[in-house]
Structure 1
């Protein structure tokens, strides 16, 4: 068991940066299709059809592929040139409003990926003499579970489903929305996991991985809520939301190309073919204590600027991965657990500075989930919770438009920095996966994934554009990079020192309606500790690393086509 625990530390990495921050999505400016059915109603029906083809650009690095935790993901598409996604999707959107006073919105998504037939693949050899890799698999019978099948092979889901009412309250504009929707507070662009919007929405990391270039806001998963907003004075406004549905974030599943450790997250049901999946610890749907309050102020002494003040009570949308003991049978299981009743106090500032637009999020999170070892603790044998603590988070960004030059016509440049400081551990400190805590992180080194008490990371987006290179076609070159400058974030979904995620692409917008994007997606993270093996005589692999080092051989090329009508 200690051997398994030691090699699981690297699974606690920030998927949000890998998926959501591939950044800028390009949608045509075509108008929605109008339906003139009822007088005084504006009714529109949109469809966005997208096709995504992904090809592996690197062969397997044996020092990664020989690790039983990552072999399923590496060997599903083992060769450079293999098609890793061949996905068709349709986003349908239906909007109806009566003189912009009241109405409703419905949206749904459908998809099919032709690359994911044939079930789970694995290393063809033995992890140790007499023990084939297939015996250490993450899926019973080496067949994808229903969850993985739904999100990787074929599926669909209802997204938005809400009604709205715009009205006057004491002479000031007000609005009410009821149903499944998303709301995004604060100014953070890339590091939403450290901003005001933390936990406000679950994030669809599966869709983000399948369609590179999707904006973080577009990955938000709608959930049922009541949202009320009103203007108090010309310079102040308030908003309040209350949730009556819970949604957990989705992440790339084990055994898929961009999966992490094979047994994660919702599809797999075995840890190295032996330890079964137990029941996850998560809130039920229904009324509970997730809610938020927002006060905005645009004072005259801050020209063009807006300050936001926030209080939110939330349930974590990202999980701990914990071990537990069944109290009836005494058998060990592994499962996911989500921390409830996290309190967030936040401040945001959105301010134009000359030709630039600057943003700032500052948050204090009380009792938030910290990176944790597997456990369980003697006081919590079933593994209900990991370590929790208080953190201070600061995210600052600046956006600039590119002026016309001999190299480009226009474009945008964005830079963002995120800082997190752990202030204290409030509970289950023995499970905190931090430097100096030998029980949860035996190596004691940040280079093997142990969290540090603070971290700094930066992200840059640079997107020069060339207008009408030929009649009807605009070109741009989106370039994105995120780098962990110092430390490993102590909370969930943070960054790791030395971790680099980058994309370089070329995008064409054709007749303001059709989009074509060709993009390379690359990754690099540190490995540490030399080589080890599953057992005597088994193939050698990296003993550990810092962040998603198991992506170091996963560089890939994607081609995305989309059209809106």
Structure 2
């Protein structure tokens, strides 16, 4: 029977299985010890991903200097946008199921990203070529962009653990780099209780729409303690020793956002240099949290109660002035000392596994303009405020019908409400702020006081279609139903991400997936002037505004993925 035909008690385990096209190749780990007291395993998962652009460049997007580098890196339908091979290596050693350690790492090489940055070959304005409005010095990728898009390696998990008992109840402590995920959010991690608990690899998330939040989490050094106080009451606490920002798609790459990007690019329109980012140093600092769970027998589920003090992993992009030289710069900044209070409930109801959570974030980062404020010329902070987030989801197995043998389905809805602005309200990029949101319209990307978004995954499956071959058809859609999220990393009204494909599990070992990835967001009016550097009009017209990632509207692409474990 397929692993997705069964429901596991752990909702997240099921969720991850669904995100992976429901089946995973189940090759046994390589056993490296014959000692019955010592269990040593080494797993490797080799993956190959080939992606091809399915749409040609839309001139209304490609003529915008902010997006021209990402558009023209792979400008034609049929261009190969990724040709990537990777390996995930995992090593575990456990002694008597009490002591142990785990180390995992990934390495990758993408053969599609040679040749550096490409740009629109035309003129942005008379006498001003697009290449002069570059985001990378010398039009060469930075070492950061090369690492994550051309070739690189990453240490993931690296921790030791010890299991013991307190008053006869199981307890455990982990020390090192690991991932811990609290709450019930599966898709909308930016609104979840887990927000900021770990950085998110949105480079991977953009390239694999529908990947769930826990799969995108980047391990982070911490001390984690967990115990059962009673058979029905559990306690967990964590303290962080490392800060990691979220990785976001970089300018000049196929799924890059604005040209000046985030960690990779170092110039704004070829003129304004990248300054020093405002972020906490690594080492022990003020990020910590505690969780209490209560699972009374009469409930048939689990309540969770949470308190966290966190640093934002999503950045503001701000303008500032170097106080030493007076020169302008742009940079990223991350808000710290955000307080989160949360409650969750997960419960099995018949054949449905349901999850609910609500959280209140105090002094969190709000969607902000670039500034700077007269009171903060160096650009240390964006707007801050308080928000309430509510998430509900349901997981279900598909019963046998004439149309499929089995399968799974997931639906999740997220609601965000801004309660108030607590500081730097003049920078809030929201409807009603005539400076940062001059259009006054949510259709230009300005935040609203509340937002609602929906995501659905549907994965019908057919078993033994051919000898040793199971097939499923994973489908995913995420849609902004109402409003633009006031906090960072949320959703936009009318913005849609969708995928559909076919996945085959061969001999319970090899995974092959063919998938189409598409996008649609509202694009605004056209213009050919008004850049921040004051260049004259006279160039080609382009979309000047939009709501959500409208620069993805011509980025539909087809991916073919092969993976196997040994």
TM over 0.5: yes
Cα deviation code 1:326-352 (max 9, x no counterpart): 112111100000000000000001011
Cα deviation code 1:279-332 (max 9, x no counterpart): 0000000110100100000112212x1010000000000100000001121111
**Cα distance in 2 between the residues matched to 1:192 and 1:214:** 11
Q: CA deviation at 1:213?
A: 5.8
Which residue is 1:413 aligned to?
409
Structural mapping, 1:10-25, within 5 Å: 23-24=19-20
**Cα distance in 2 between the residues matched to 1:21 and 1:378:** 50
Summarize the Cα distance change of 1:489–1:209 in structure 2 as closer, same or farther, 3 Å threshold.
closer
Whether 1:132 and 2:129 are equivalent positions in the alignment is: yes
Summarize the Cα distance change of 1:340–1:126 in structure 2 as closer, same or farther, 3 Å threshold.
same
Unaligned runs of 5+ residues in structure 1 are 1-19
- The answer (yes or no) to whether the contact 2:209–2:499 under 8 Å persists in 1 is no
Q: 1:217 aligns to what SS in structure 2?
A: helix
**Cα distance in 2 between the residues matched to 1:267 and 1:33:** 38
Cα deviation code 1:9-39 (max 9, x no counterpart): xxxxxxxxxxx99943552121111112655
Q: 1:127 aligns to what SS in structure 2?
A: strand
**Structure 2 counterpart of 1:196, from 185, 193, 196:** 193
Whether 1:471 and 2:463 are equivalent positions in the alignment is: no
Cα deviation code 1:183-219 (max 9, x no counterpart): 0011111111111111111011123334556432121
* Worse-superposed segment, 438-447 or 363-372: 438-447
**Cα distance in 2 between the residues matched to 1:498 and 1:77:** 26
**Cα distance in 2 between the residues matched to 1:472 and 1:124:** 51
Which residue is 1:353 aligned to?
349
Output the TM-score relative to the length of structure 2.
0.95
**Structure 2 counterpart of 1:377, from 351, 354, 373:** 373
**Cα distance in 1 between the residues matched to 2:283 and 2:102:** 22
Whether 1:400 and 2:375 are equivalent positions in the alignment is: no
Cα deviation code 1:401-439 (max 9, x no counterpart): 100000000001111110000000000000000001011
Which residue is 2:499 aligned to?
503
- The answer (yes or no) to whether the contact 2:526–2:541 under 8 Å persists in 1 is no
Which residue is 1:517 aligned to?
513
**Structure 2 counterpart of 1:459, from 438, 455, 464:** 455
**Cα distance in 2 between the residues matched to 1:313 and 1:368:** 11
- The answer (yes or no) to whether the contact 1:224–1:245 under 8 Å persists in 2 is yes
- The answer (yes or no) to whether the contact 1:189–1:216 under 8 Å persists in 2 is yes
Q: 1:193 aligns to what SS in structure 2?
A: helix
Which residue is 2:5 aligned to?
none
**Structure 2 counterpart of 1:172, from 164, 169, 174:** 169
Which residue is 1:552 aligned to?
553
Q: 1:141 aligns to what SS in structure 2?
A: helix
Whether 1:289 and 2:286 are equivalent positions in the alignment is: yes
**Cα distance in 1 between the residues matched to 2:431 and 2:214:** 33
- The answer (yes or no) to whether the contact 2:209–2:497 under 8 Å persists in 1 is no
Q: 1:389 aligns to what SS in structure 2?
A: strand
Which residue is 1:145 aligned to?
142
**Cα distance in 2 between the residues matched to 1:232 and 1:88:** 46
**Structure 1 counterpart of 2:217, from 207, 217, 220:** 220
Q: 1:186 aligns to what SS in structure 2?
A: coil
Q: CA deviation at 1:157?
A: 1.4
**Cα distance in 2 between the residues matched to 1:325 and 1:542:** 29
**Cα distance in 1 between the residues matched to 2:246 and 2:35:** 39
* Worse-superposed segment, 354-363 or 209-218: 209-218
- The answer (yes or no) to whether the contact 1:23–1:216 under 8 Å persists in 2 is no
Which residue is 1:266 aligned to?
263
Structural mapping, 1:49-64, within 5 Å: 49-64=46-61
Structural mapping, 1:267-346, within 5 Å: 267-303=264-300, 305-346=301-342
Task: Count residues in correspondence.
Answer: 545
**Cα distance in 2 between the residues matched to 1:37 and 1:124:** 63
Which residue is 2:86 aligned to?
89
Which residue is 1:235 aligned to?
232
- The answer (yes or no) to whether the contact 1:22–1:213 under 8 Å persists in 2 is no
Whether 1:483 and 2:484 are equivalent positions in the alignment is: no
Which residue is 1:98 aligned to?
95
Which residue is 1:41 aligned to?
38
Q: 1:233 aligns to what SS in structure 2?
A: coil
Q: CA deviation at 1:400?
A: 1.0
- The answer (yes or no) to whether the contact 2:528–2:537 under 8 Å persists in 1 is no
Which residue is 2:358 aligned to?
362
- The answer (yes or no) to whether the contact 1:87–1:210 under 8 Å persists in 2 is no
**Cα distance in 1 between the residues matched to 2:403 and 2:220:** 44
Unaligned runs of 5+ residues in structure 2 are 1-15
- Note the aligned Cα RMSD (angstroms): 1.4
Q: 2:72 aligns to what SS in structure 1?
A: helix
**Cα distance in 1 between the residues matched to 2:438 and 2:321:** 22
Cα deviation code 1:53-85 (max 9, x no counterpart): 000000000000000000000000000000000
**Cα distance in 2 between the residues matched to 1:302 and 1:268:** 52
Q: 1:115 aligns to what SS in structure 2?
A: helix
Which residue is 2:542 aligned to?
541
Output the TM-score relative to the length of structure 1.
0.95
Which residue is 1:9 aligned to?
none
